[in-house]
Amino acid sequence: MIIVSVTGPSMPEAFNQIASSVRYADIFELRLDLLPDTDVRAAIRATRKPVIATCRPVREGGSFEGPEVDRFDLLQRAIDAGARYVDLELDAWTPGRRQLRSRVSRLQWIVSHHSLGSYPRRVDVLYKSMMRTGAEVLKFAYTAEDAWQIKAAMEFLALARGDGKRALAIAMGEAGEASRVLYKVFGGWATFACPERGRQSAPGQLPASALRNVFRAHERTTRTKVFGLVGNPVGQSKGPYIHNVLYRRLDRDAIYCRFRVDNLPRFMKSFEGVLQGCSVTVPHKQAMMRLLSQVDPDARRLGAVNTVVRRATGYFGANTDASGALDAIEGKLLVAGKRCLVIGAGGAARAIAGEAIRRGATVCIANRTLARARSVARALGAEWTTIDGIPSFKPEILVNATSAGMWPDIDVSPVAAIPDTVHLAFDAIYNPVMTCFLEKAGKQGIMTVTGVEMFARQAVEQIRLFTGRKPLTTDVKRLFVAATRDPVQDSRRYIPDTRPGP
Ligand code: NAP
């Protein structure tokens, strides 16, 4: 069930919210604390769906500041107007039930608790107190600072599942996003969504359209395989828009979500029984290796994994960035025998430089922080130089594997000029697609390869490892471009790379 929270604050806005999300909502929640002058009857009629009446007090994260009797009066009006459910906080349960009168037999009670401070430790104790109320539905919400804390929601829903009880458990905030997406995987009854972006009634709420169309959260079951992106930040990731579509096309009951993780060991432990695999991004590509039972030899040599899959013997790690980047470059120019200069000394630079060496290139690494370039070069058996020293290496292939030029700093380039020895310039950045660095190269008549080419190839291999089936690179690229049709991604800079290879 997808519950859309209607927050107004004016009645016309509330009606717009209902109209824009009616095809995605199974139930509407009227937030009476946020709708001060509500004609509840008219609002309930407009929804044409079952309605939950909620009037959240300030102490539980809502906006209602008046006395409890007034709050219950508002709820009573909603009951009388035909609300199907009433949400009553655990601490207001006894007085609320005493004052509120139901005139319809099908009215159902939701007992809720919002833990807004520290991470809830005794979920079992809370669960038991909520069960004792006899409410038809239990709702537990708390704030998560890190995705491992979704664990409390899983625990709560596991208890409810054991008792055959309808329950919701939500980890609020960006770090808890997956708890909203995976509610059915955890055995939950419903999840909350906002009618549209920017209209959240609680932090981390996703638009109902995204829950239904991108994640298909309502179709999932406890058997659905869970994959996702693990890192921080993850908010701008296009992964869900690509993986979820392709899993469906490949006929796999699997879901891909975003996990904003700081404490990686705790996350991997909390999700041990749930996570079937993940993409790994900054800052965990190196640290992840220590938590795996098996690492692909190439990934071990590169010192980083970007893909983890569950196998019978435990988690296995691989690096699809390396082959993705080199396959993209070699789509235009073979690297064997060429002089390749990689700018950067992070995870991407290491993967690209290591794989270029394996394919027969002579590699030199340059980085803003020279000491890091030196240490990566030593580990891989490459040369190193300063950014100013790049021309003296006489590179034929020049790779930007830094974040210089990434959105929002799109006018930055890692180098002031591109040496005239360069035949091909490759940028790992894919946001924007046509970076300042590639524009410079293009103006000099140099072949260019965008980060999307790498992204698509590494994603194809990652999806093969996750699902056992390989999507088409062109399909991944198409989905990527569709996903960037978002004003903040500056997709107008997308210039298809059509220059022919040699
Ligand atoms: P990382 O480990 O954080 O490394 C960042 C690198 O960028 C470091 O070498 C850092 O230099 C350098 N850097 C950052 N800001 C800079 C600036 N303003 N000027 C010059 N150098 C700067 O990140 P990563 O994982 O290697 O990722 C690097 C880039 O590759 C990112 O843009 C990422 O989006 C992209 N990437 C793309 C794909 C793909 O599929 N296309 C896959 C992975 C990564 P210092 O050492 O001096 O700090």
For the chain, 502 residues long, give each residue's pLDDT as a single digit of tens.
Answer: 999 999 999 999 999 999 999 999 999 999 999 998 889 999 999 999 999 999 999 999 999 999 999 999 999 999 999 999 999 999 999 999 999 988 767 899 999 999 988 889 899 999 999 999 999 999 999 999 999 999 999 999 999 999 999 999 999 999 999 999 999 999 999 999 999 877 777 788 999 999 999 999 999 999 999 999 999 999 888 899 999 999 999 999 999 999 999 999 999 999 999 999 999 998 999 999 999 999 999 999 998 999 999 999 999 999 999 999 999 999 999 999 999 999 999 989 999 999 999 999 999 999 999 999 999 999 999 999 999 999 999 999 999 999 999 988 999 999 999 999 999 999 999 988 999 999 999 999 999 999 999 999 999 999 999 999 999 999 999 999 888 764 333 333 333 333 333 2
b/e map 437-453, b = 16+ CB within 10 Å: bbbbbbeeebbbbbbbb
285 is catalytic: yes
Q: Does the beta carbon of 450 lie inside 6 Å of ligand 1?
A: no
Same fold, 2-222 and 332-449: no
Annotated active-site residue 284? The verdict is no
- What is the rounded CA–CA span in Å between residue 198 and residue 315? 38
Instruction: Report domain extents, the chain.
Output: 2-222, 240-319+455-490, 332-449
Per annotation, catalytic residue among 146, 321, 427, 497:
321
CATH of 240-319+455-490, one of 3.40.190.80, 1.10.1200.10, 3.30.420.40, 3.40.50.10860: 3.40.50.10860
- Measured on CA atoms in the order 397, 403, 409, 412, is the torsion positive or negative? negative
d(CA 490, CA 431): 8
Task: Ligand 1, residue 402: give the atom nearest the CA.
Answer: 7
Rg (CA), the chain: 26
Ligand 1 center–CA 304 separation, angstroms = 14
Q: What's the gap in Å between 289 CA and the centre of ligand 1?
A: 19
Is 139 a known active-site residue? yes
| pTM for the full predicted model | 0.91
Classify residue 4 by its DSSP letter.
E
Active-site residue, from 113, 139, 165, 477: 139
Q: What CATH class has 332-449? A: alpha beta
The answer to whether domain 2-222 has CATH 3.90.245.10 is no
Catalytic site includes residue 470: no
For a ligand 1 pocket test, name from 321, 402, 429 the mutation site with the most ligand atoms within 8 angstroms of its C-beta.
402
